[in-house]
Structure 1
Amino acid sequence: MSLIGKEILPFKAQAYKNGDFVEVTEENLKGQWSVVCFYPADFTFVCPTELEDLQNQYATLKELGTEVYSVSTDTHFVHKAWHDSSEAIGKITYTMIGDPSHVISRNFDVLIEEEGIADRGTFIIDPDGVVQAVEINAGGIGRDASTLVNKIKAAQYVRNNPGEVCPAKWEEGSETLKPSLDLVGKI
């Protein structure tokens, strides 16, 4: 069942952010655009490359009014230990949420029950707390965080311009489409 167009479910979790432990709930993901990036586990192989790549896009995402949250089923204590011991993870300034109870991973339908870890899932959430985009990758396939920038720009454009849609490979400033009978069969 798709989560597109659905409001995020309630949760409360501990997280690590910039040297502090903080509490995060679904309310933190509302009021601005949010990216929630699930990954299987700390101290692994593909995960640090993805999370470092996400950090490399963080300033651009912040300029777009977007907050970033990474989530694994590890605890916030493990996030801190990984942050303190890994050069790549040590760069991270966004919030790293611990989900040892698996509530958040189940809420977003990314939990691999038999392993107790999350799939590689990326969710773009609008300021109302509604999921607008989902990407799920198999464990061995890393994600490219630069693709989030255009997806968020497109989601923001569509939200701010009712009746218009963004075609494939849309970039900010390029033409959009206005679905109508006149376009049927002409694209």
Structure 2
Amino acid sequence: MAIINTQIKPFKAEAYHNGKFVTVTDETVKGKWSIFFFYPADFTFVCPTELGDVAELYPEFQKIGVEVYSVSTDTHFTHKAWHDASETIKKINYPMIGDPTHAIARNFDVLIADAGLALRGTFVVNPEGEIKVAEIHDLGIGRDASELLRKVKAAQYVATHPGEVCPAKWKEGEATLAPSLDLVGKI
């Protein structure tokens, strides 16, 4: 079954956020746009480059009403230790969810069961809790936060402009398309 347009499944987990441990649930994320940004493990190689990239654009995500949740199968305690030890990770102001039971990784179908790690999975969730964007990478392939920001803006635009769609490479303020019989074969 495709994950797009499905509801996120119930979960409850602890996160490290702004110097505190906080509880995050499926209900916590409803009411605003959210990003679930899965990565394999703390204290690794590609992961800090990605998380740092998202941290740099986090103010832009916040401006458009989006909360970012990074998720790995580490504990929230490990997230705090990594935050304290790494100059790159110290820049993170978004919640870092611990998923040591693998429940959230299973819910989003990114768990590598025999390794106990998550694939690099990115999911954009609308305020109703529906998954609107899903992207999954192998462990060695890093992601680009600016492209993620573009996709979130496109998802938000489509959600607020029924009957319009965003073409390839669409950026905020550019022309969209209104699918109709008149456009068939003319693009």
Moved beyond 4 Å, runs of 4+: none
Aligned residue number for residue 96 of structure 2: 96
Aligned residue number for residue 33 of structure 1: 33
Aligned residue number for residue 143 of structure 2: 143
Q: In structure 2, what is the Cα distance between the partners aligned to 1:143 and 1:39?
A: 10
Aligned residue number for residue 122 of structure 1: 122
Aligned residue number for residue 4 of structure 1: 4
Amino acid at match of 2:128: D
Q: In structure 1, what is the Cα distance between the partners aligned to 2:172 and 2:5?
A: 23
SS in 2 for 1:93: coil
Aligned residue number for residue 166 of structure 2: 166
Amino acid at match of 2:37: C
Q: In structure 1, what is the Cα distance between the partners aligned to 2:47 and 2:2?
A: 24
Describe the superposition over 1:126-159 as per-residue Cα deviations: whole angstroms up to 9, x where unpaired.
Answer: 0101000011111001111111111111111100
Aligned residue number for residue 108 of structure 2: 108
* Cα RMSD for the two superposed structures: 0.7
SS in 2 for 1:21: strand
Aligned residue number for residue 79 of structure 2: 79
Amino acid at match of 2:104: I
Amino acid at match of 2:28: N
Q: Aligned residue pairs: how many?
A: 187
Aligned residue number for residue 70 of structure 2: 70
Cα deviation for residue 178 of structure 1 reads 0.8
For structure 2, which runs of at least 5 residues remain unmatched after alignment? none
Calculate the TM-score normalised by the size of structure 2.
0.98
SS in 2 for 1:127: coil
Calculate the TM-score normalised by the size of structure 1.
0.98
Q: In structure 1, what is the Cα distance between the partners aligned to 2:2 and 2:72?
A: 21
Amino acid at match of 2:157: Y
Aligned residue number for residue 19 of structure 1: 19
SS in 1 for 2:31: coil
Aligned residue number for residue 56 of structure 1: 56
Cα deviation for residue 173 of structure 1 reads 1.3
Q: In structure 2, what is the Cα distance between the partners aligned to 1:68 and 1:28?
A: 12
SS in 2 for 1:128: coil
Q: In structure 2, what is the Cα distance between the partners aligned to 1:148 and 1:24?
A: 22
Cα deviation for residue 164 of structure 1 reads 0.6
For structure 1, which runs of at least 5 residues remain unmatched after alignment? none
Q: In structure 2, what is the Cα distance between the partners aligned to 1:84 and 1:38?
A: 20
Q: In structure 2, what is the Cα distance between the partners aligned to 1:156 and 1:90?
A: 29
